[in-house]
Structure 1
Amino acid sequence: MVDKSEKFNWAVRVGYFSRAILYAVLGLVALTSAGRIAEGTDGVFLAIEDYPAGTVLLWIMAVGLTAYALFRFCSLLFDIENNGSDSKGWAKRVGHAGSGIGHLVLAYSAFKFANDSASSSSGGGAEEAAAGILSVELGGIVLGVLGVIFFAVAVFQAKKGISGDFMHRISPAAPSATRWLGGVGFCARAVVYAVIGWSLVQAGFFSQGADEVKTLGDAVASLAGEGPIFTITAIGLLTFGLFSLILARYRIIPDMDSSKGIPKFRI
């Protein structure tokens, strides 16, 4: 019988595999199809839908990205990455929660396309979620704060890419190219997260509306007129997809206690 820890382990690995598909296709579409990348995140999912067994891939992504988002939320709630409870540790954990929110929105978009209910959508889950937040009292502040969190995540992404400290959570058996693949990928993702953060700040603090909110593909599309920055970022995202594929196999995932549902090192 498979225990909870092993189920958790497999769920996270499927999450990394789903993330690998997402970023690899995002980078590929940005580099090869101006029309598709102009459609933002929708264009990425439409590209996946056109692949052989594309609908199956979308369902895997819907499940996998949800699992990955929950993994990131567990970092906030249970500190499964052992970041600690000092100010630096909490900053990382809150950043992981921001990543979880972003990937949960992407999982919802993947579900909509897999369910064949998003063929005529424009903007997907991000704008719907943002509109819902803005419709409640203090919703603008919530959205703006979320944007600030994404800025913080962007800084951490860049720091990880430059320092290479992400290698501490990867098995020594991983390919030798893992360090530079991750370094390039994290720096590219920092650029995209900064764009997403700015869109949330504009929508929340400056009342520019839910239409301003960008997800992954939309953020990349907004860089299309920036010349080398766009090309370098697109190559970096493709590289991050390859890096995520390595993580699906070689990422060190904390064992969970089968009865308490928390990391064993916390017991």
Structure 2
Amino acid sequence: MVDKSEKFNWFVRLGYFSRAILYSVLGLIALTSAGKIAQGTNGIFQAVKEFPLGTAVLWLMVVGLLAYALFRFASTFFDIENQGSDAKGWAKRLGHAGSAIGHLALAFSAYKFASSGSGGSGDGAQKAASGVLSMEFGGVLVGILGIAFFVAAVFQAKKGLTGEFMHRISGAAPSYTRQIGGAGYVARAVVFLIIGWSLIKAGLLSAGSEQVKTLGDAVASLAGEGIVFTLVAIGLLLFGIFSFILARYKIIPDMGANGRVPIFRA
């Protein structure tokens, strides 16, 4: 019988695998198809749907992206990656919360394409933000989410530049993991900054929910930036490849006896 830790392990690895597909396709679209990248996140999932067995791949991504989001929520609330409860630890955990919410939104977009063949109008994130903004203190909540993405961007850039992410990757990983992971994290930091700023403008600067950008929208917004756009696109493609490596070689925390406190595999 497979124990809870082993189930958790494979659940998280499926999340990394889905993230790998997402970022690989995003990077390829950005580099090769101006039309699809202009569609933002919908362009990504439409491209996946056009793959052989594309609908099956989309359903796999729905489960995987949801798994990754839940993993990041667990990282936030239960500290399963042992970040700690000091200021630095909570800053990282707040960044994980932003990542979790972002991947929940991506899972929902993938679900719409997998179940109906279409992502609809492509403004799901804007509609969700509009609903939150209509609530009392809704602008503050959206703004806090934007700050969470800013915090996540800072730590993504730090990971990329220092290579600290290698501490939780098996030594059996390919020798080039450090280089492609570093480039990928820096590119992802740029995208997170754009998403965070869009949320801050919508929530704290009253710019309106139409300002909110999803992953694909953030990349599309760089399309006129020449070499910056190209470098970010290449970086995101590398992050996708890096995520495939993580799906195999990431050191996943075991679930503790109470289901919360982890220990790390050697």
Q: Deviations over 1:54-97 (max 9, x none)?
A: 11111111110000000011111111111111111111111111
Q: What does 1:1-267 align with in structure 2 at a 5 Å threshold?
A: 1-116=1-116, 118-123=118-123, 125-257=124-256, 259-265=257-263
Q: Secondary structure at the match of 2:253?
A: coil
Q: Counterparts of 1:175 and 1:134 in 2: how far apart (Å)?
A: 46
Q: Counterparts of 1:66 and 1:74 in 2: how far apart (Å)?
A: 12
How far apart are 1:264 and its partner, in Å? 3.8
Q: Counterparts of 1:86 and 1:12 in 2: how far apart (Å)?
A: 26
Q: Counterparts of 1:110 and 1:221 in 2: how far apart (Å)?
A: 18
Q: Counterparts of 2:80 and 2:206 in 1: how far apart (Å)?
A: 36
Q: Deviations over 1:227-263 (max 9, x none)?
A: 0000000000000000000000000001103x52113
Q: Deviations over 1:186-239 (max 9, x none)?
A: 000000000001100111112222111001000000000000000000000000
Q: Deviations over 1:151-178 (max 9, x none)?
A: 1111111000000000001000000010
Q: Counterparts of 1:80 and 1:134 in 2: how far apart (Å)?
A: 31
Q: Secondary structure at the match of 2:140?
A: helix
How far apart are 1:135 and its partner, in Å? 1.8
CA contact under 8 A between 1:78 and 1:262: conserved in structure 2? Answer: yes
Amino acid at match of 2:234: I
Unmatched tracts of structure 2, length 5 or more:
none
Amino acid at match of 2:87: S
How far apart are 1:119 and its partner, in Å? 4.2
CA contact under 8 A between 1:143 and 1:201: conserved in structure 2? Answer: yes
CA contact under 8 A between 1:254 and 1:263: conserved in structure 2? Answer: no
Equivalent pairs, count: 264
Amino acid at match of 2:254: D
Q: Counterparts of 2:175 and 2:218 in 1: how far apart (Å)?
A: 31
- Name whichever of 244-253 and 135-144 sits farther off: 135-144
Tell me the TM-score normalised to structure 2 length.
Answer: 0.97
- Over 4 Å off, 4+ runs: none
Q: Deviations over 1:107-145 (max 9, x none)?
A: 11001110116343222x312221221121111111111
Q: Counterparts of 1:21 and 1:264 in 2: how far apart (Å)?
A: 28
Q: Counterparts of 2:50 and 2:242 in 1: how far apart (Å)?
A: 24
How far apart are 1:265 and its partner, in Å? 4.0
How far apart are 1:2 and its partner, in Å? 1.1
Q: Secondary structure at the match of 1:121?
A: coil
Amino acid at match of 2:120: S
